[in-house]
Structure 1
Amino acid sequence: MPRSGVPTRVAVFTALREVLTDRPWRKVTLEAVAKQAGVSRQTIYNDFGSRAGLAEAYAFELADAFCDLVANDIEENADDPAAALEAALRTFLYATSADPLIRRVQDGDAHEDLMRLVTTDSGPLLAHIAARLTTSVAQTWPGVDPATNRALARTIARLGISYIALPPESEDDVALELAALLAPALEDTVARSRRRRDGG
Structure 2
Amino acid sequence: MSHLTGKRIAILASDGFEESELLEPMRALREHGAQVDVVSPERGPIQGFRHFDRGQTVPVDRDLADARAADYDALVIPGGLFNPDALRHDEDALRFTRDFFNDGKPVGAICHGPWVLVDAGVVQSREMTSVPNIHRDLENAGARWVDREVVVDQGLVTSRTPKDLPAFCAKLVEEIAEGRHAQPAASA
For the criterion TM > 0.5, the same-fold answer is no
Give the number of the structure whose residues are more often helix, by fraction: 1
Higher Rg: 1
The structure where strand makes up a greater share of residues is: 2
Higher RCO structure, 1 or 2 (CA under 8 Å, sep 6+): 1
Question: TM-score w.r.t. structure 1 length?
Answer: 0.27
Structure 2 length-normalised TM: 0.29
